[in-house]
């Protein structure tokens, strides 16, 4: 019988290492929606759905009906406040219109003074253009002098508020 050739030991079969798990790629976010126009755009026109109310202000003023214009401005300010908020440029702009109309009416100097102070403070808080805010505050100071001429006690009572708002709106201090 023929000799049997030695059999080489067979190496055990080692399975190939499993590939490392590949992480699932993160989803790619959709491109962002275009941002709405910033609320700080002080030159943007009123939206068309407010044109009729604004038209009533202009028409009343052109007819010399300052009381009617002031009432229409108050109505528009309320609508804008409900829609956009108190510090939106449209709302603040109409508040300024109300202050101007009140100045033209010259009916109640103390009320006019308070309206101008509220307007200047709101413009400041809304980061409105400073030059117009200072003009409103200068008008408030002029109204204070008119008020002082007719009711010094009322003017003295309002003076601390004038000082506070003047300090808030840097650069315009009452005399």
Which pLDDT value is given to residue 36?
39
Q: What is the pLDDT along the chain (175 residues), one digit of tens a residue?
A: 555 555 555 555 555 555 555 555 555 554 444 333 454 589 899 999 999 999 999 999 999 999 999 999 999 999 999 999 999 999 999 999 999 999 999 999 999 999 999 999 999 999 999 999 999 999 999 999 999 999 999 999 999 999 999 999 975 444 4
CB 97 within 8 A of CB 89: no
Gap between the Cα atoms of 111 and 19, Å rounded: 81
Phi-psi label, residue 91: left if phi above 0, alpha if psi -120 to 50, beta otherwise? alpha
Which pLDDT value is given to residue 30?
47
Q: Which two tokens stand for residue 160?
A: 């601390």
CB 140 within 8 A of CB 120: yes
In 10-140 the beta strands, taken as DSSP E runs, fall at none
Instruction: State the DSSP string of 124-149.
Output: HHTT--HHHHHHHHHHHHHHHHHHHH
Which pLDDT value is given to residue 16?
56
- Name the pTM for this structure: 0.74
* Domain limits, the chain: 48-106, 108-169
């Amino acid at each position: 019988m023929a000799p049997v050739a030695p059999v080489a030991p067979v190496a055990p079969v080692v399975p190939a290492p499993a590939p490392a798990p590949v992480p699932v790629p993160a989803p790619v976010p959709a491109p962002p929606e275009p941002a709405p126009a910033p609320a700080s755009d002080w030159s943007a026109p009123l939206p068309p759905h407010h044109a009729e109310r604004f038209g009533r202000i202009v028409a009343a003023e052109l007819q010399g009906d300052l009381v009617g214009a002031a009432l229409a401005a108050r109505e528009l300010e309320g609508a804008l406040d409900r829609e956009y908020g108190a510090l939106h440029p449209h709302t603040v702009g109409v508040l300024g219109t109300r202050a101007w109309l009140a100045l033209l009416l010259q009916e109640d100097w103390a009320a006019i003074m308070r309206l101008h102070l509220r307007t200047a403070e709101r413009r400041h808080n809304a980061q409105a253009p400073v030059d117009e805010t200072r003009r409103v505050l200068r008008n408030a100071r002029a109204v204070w002098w008119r008020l002082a001429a007719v009711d010094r006690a009322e003017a003295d009572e309002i003076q601390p508020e004038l000082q506070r708002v003047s300090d808030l709106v840097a650069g315009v201090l009452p005399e």
